[in-house]
Amino acid sequence: MHLSAPIYRLKRQARLMARRERIPLHEALDKMAIEEGFQSWSHLTSSTSTKKPVATILTQFEPGDLILVGARPGQGKTLLGLELASRATELGRKGLFFTLDYHEQDVEERFSSLGIDPRSGRHDMIVDTSDEVSADYVISCLELFREPVVAVIDYLQLLDQKRTNPSLDDQIRSLRRHVKATGAICAMISQIDRSFDLSDKPMPDLSDVRLPNPLDLSAFDKACFLHNGEIRMDQAA
C-alpha cells in the first residue's frame, strides 16, 4: 500500500495532531495509520518495510566504533537512536540510551511511534535520562556491564552544557579511548546546522555538524546521516 508521505513526515503530523487534539501520541499515530488505510501504527510500520534501514546500519557496526548520527530536527534521528539501542541484542549486546534532551514520558512516546509498547518487555535496553549525562558518566555506566554494549547518547551538543564538565573535544576523546579499549559501540546523536537547509545538498555531511564549541570530528569512525526519509552511512575517520 502506497503511503501519502514518508513515514518520518507521518510521525511529525501525528505529533502535531497529538498536541492539537491533546491526545497521547500513540492514539495520534493510530489515527494517522487508519487514515493511510492500516489498522494501527504498528500495522503500518510492519507492512511498509520488510527490512528496516536500522537492520542494515547495525550490520555495519564493529566493536570499538564511535559513530555520529546527524540530522536536522524532525528527520528521525532520535527514533533511529532508540531503535539502534533497542535492537542491540541482534549483535549480542546490551542496549543503553542516554538522553539529556528527553524525560521518561518523551521516551515512552517515541517508543510508541516505533510500534513498541515500552511496558510490554519487547525491548531489552536501559534508558537513562539523568541530568548528569557526560562522557565520564556514560563510561562509568558502561563499566558496570561485563557484556558488550551498544550505547546511544542524545545528544552531542549538550554534553558540555554544564561548565563543570570537560570540553566537548576532551569528552569525545575519552569516549573514543574507552570504546577502543573495551570493544563497546557508541553512537552519538548530533544536530545539523540550519545553514544546511539553505544548501542544495541532498544529504548532510560532517561539514554540516553544528559545533558551538570546538571538536575534532576525526574522532568518529563512522557517520550516519538522515534526510527526507533517506539514510546514508559513511566512513568518518
Mean pLDDT of 109-133: 74
Strand-strand pairing, 185-191 and 66-71: parallel
156 or 5: whose pLDDT is higher?
156
Q: What phi and psi, each to the nearest 5 degrees, are found at residue 152?
A: -120, 130
pTM for the structure as a whole: 0.79
Instruction: Kindly report, residue by residue over 203-226, the tens digit of the pLDDT.
Output: 999 999 999 999 999 999 999 999
Residue 51 is predicted with a pLDDT of: 46
- Please name the residues in contact with 216: beta carbons below 8 A apart, sequence gap of 6 or more: 169, 172
Q: Which domains does the chain have, with CATH numbers?
A: 7-48 (no CATH), 53-235 (3.40.50.300)
Among 2-11, 112-121, 178-187, the range of highest mean pLDDT: 178-187
